[in-house]
Amino acid sequence: MLVVRPITMTDYNALYHCAIESGYGFTSLPVNEALLSHRIEHSEASFAKTDVQCPTDESYLMVGVDSESGRIAGTTAIEAYVGWDTPSYSYHISTILHSSRRLGVNKVVKLLTLGNNYIGSSELCTLFLLPEYRAGLNGRLMSKCRFLMLAEHRERFAQTIIAEMRGVSDEQGNSPFWQWLQEHFFSIDFSLADYLTGSGHKGFIAELMPKLPIYINLLSPEAQAVIGKVHDKTKPALKLLEEEGFSCRNYVDIFDAGPTVECDLRHIESVRHSLSATVKVAQHQSRQKVILSNTSFEFFRATITEVDFHPESETVMITPEVAQALLIQSGDRVRFLMIR
C-alpha cells in the first residue's frame, strides 16, 4: 500500500535520489543539497502553520511511502501562492492580424509576450514517481490526493490552480526552444538555466530575456514545433489534469515552452465529486475502490483502498490496517474520491 504524507527531514536522502532520477527540465527538484534541505524545512513549517485563512508563502511537499518496505516511491506538492517570494514568468501566445486593404493582404501572426500573469495562483508541482512505482494506480494517487487536500482545506489555496508541464528536451537536457533563445539572447545552456531557476536565481530572466514580444514565425522550425508540447514522461500527468478540467490558456514556459494548464478550484472534477463521511473501523466486504484521506492538515495522509460506503448514513467502513495508515479511528471524518 502506498501512503502519501508530508515530507520530513528524515526523507532527505530519498528526495535527493528522486531529484537525480527526475532528470533535466524538472525545475522543482534541483540536485542541490542546500536547496532540497531548505525545501523540506519550508514544507515542515508550512504544514505546521495553524489558522491559515488565505494563501501566502506556504509550500506543501509530500512523499508517497511504500507501507511494506518503508521506501519513498515519489513526491508530489502544492505551492500555495505563485510569485510570493520569487518572480514567476511565462510567455503568453497571442494572435495579431497584419492587414492592408489596399494590397489585399491579410497575414495572421502569433506573438510570445513575457509576463507575470499567474502571480497569486496556487500551483500543483513536483509530481514524480520512481520508475519501479509507476505501474497500477500509484500515479493517480500521487496526483489526485492533492485534490482531496484542496477540497478539504480550500482556505489555504487560491481560486486559480495551475500546473507547469515539462516541455520537450532530449536526454542530454537540450531544449529546441531554449537553443533558439540561447543563440540570440543568452550564453548559457538549458541545463544551467533550468538549475538557476530551480535554485531561485531568476534575476537573469529579467536581465536577459527579450523585453519586446517575439514573433513566433521568426523562431527556428525546431523551436516552433515544440511550443505548447510536453515531454514524453509528462504526457500521463497532463492527461490526468485534462481529465480534471485543466486546460492551457495559451501560456507556456519561458525555457522549454511547455504548456501551463489551469482550472478554477471549484470546477476541478475531483474537488467537485469528492465526498465526506464518518469512519467506521471494522473488517468488511469491500465494494468500492477509492482514494481516501484523513481531514487533518498537519498530519495529512492519503491512500488507495477498498471501502464499504453507506450514503444514507454518510459512513464509510475501512479496515484497521487502513485506519492505522491514515491515523484515524471510528467516528473521525474522511474525504474520498470514487475510482471509476
- Catalytic annotation, residues: 231
Closest CA to 178 of 163, 201, 195, 161: 195
Using CA atoms, how far apart are residues 206 and 184, in angstroms rounded to an integer? 15
Distances (CA, A) of 319 to 2, 56, 154, 275, 322: 15, 37, 28, 19, 5
Using CA atoms, how far apart are residues 55 and 329, in angstroms rounded to an integer? 30
Residues 6+ apart with CB under 8 A from 271: 147, 150, 151, 265
Using CA atoms, how far apart are residues 194 and 171, in angstroms rounded to an integer? 14
Amino acid letter, residue 277: A
Helix (H, G, I), strand (E, B) or coil at 5: strand
Query: Which residue reads 477540497 in cell numbers?
Result: 151
Residues 6+ apart with CB under 8 A from 87: 116, 202, 203, 205, 206
- Alpha helices in 169-210, H assignment, sequence order: 176-184, 190-198, 203-208
Beta bridge partners of 97: 108
- On whether the CB atoms of residues 119 and 220 are closer than 8 A, the answer is no
Using CA atoms, how far apart are residues 241 and 144, in angstroms rounded to an integer? 9
- Give the three cell numbers for residue 110: 502569433
Using CA atoms, how far apart are residues 252 and 255, in angstroms rounded to an integer? 9
Using CA atoms, how far apart are residues 217 and 222, in angstroms rounded to an integer? 11
Phi, psi angles (nearest 5°) of residue 72 = -80, 120
